[in-house]
Amino acid sequence: MNPPITDLDQIRALAAQQHDAFEVMRYMLEADDDLDDAQLDAWVEAVAKPIAAAIDCTRCANCCRSLDVYLTETDAQRLAEGVHIPLDHIMTRYIDRDSAAEVEEWGKFRARPCAFLDDKLCSVYAHRPESCRMYPAFTPDFRWTLADTIEGASLCPIIYNVLAALVNQVDEIVKSSLS
């Protein structure tokens, strides 16, 4: 495996260049009725795992700077207990319930970049919301969430490098589903 590309300017430019190729991959996978979802997800995870392991998120933190972070009531309680700040203070100062409700979520961090980001490190790492722990997720249902994943390729080096690797192998996986 070549070393993954991590420069954020380069990632943004390459993601724009490759956008059509990523979309072609999505059309191919969505049209392939012979390809089992579990088989496809296993292939994606096998490609994604070494790439994610080779990228140091503590030198990036672009997701913490760029994305809206949604959280659950359980996330808020865990955060309040972890940082020893009363829950009502966490709610008032850090969490926006109204704009989260507009997209049927429980809460959203008010600040972007995230208020808990300290340079490129999460200052509440052990107590961070579940959505932070899961990001970036490729599975389950890689095929049916690929449109959203493609949108993340310009900001996340893990996503870009994984999609670029998958594009190079998609013909092979589609052919294997026919055999």
Q: 27 or 82, CB closer to ligand SF4?
A: 82
Q: Catalog residues that contact ligand SF4 under the rule CB under 6 A.
A: 55, 57, 60-64, 69, 114, 116-117, 122, 124, 128-129, 132, 135-136, 155-158
Residue 44 gets the label, from left (phi > 0), alpha (psi -120 to 50) or beta, of: alpha
- The least distance separating ligand SF4 from the CB of residue 170, rounded to whole angstroms, comes to 22
Residue 151 Cβ vs ligand SF4, minimum distance, rounded to whole Å? 13
The answer to whether 113 and 64 are in contact (CB under 8 A) is yes
Least distance from C-beta 32 to ligand SF4, angstroms?
A: 28
Contact present, 173 and 43 (Cβ < 8 Å):
yes
Burial 43-60 (b: 16+ CB within 10 A, else e): bbeebbeebbeebebeeb
Residue number, 63 or 95, with CB nearest to ligand SF4: 63
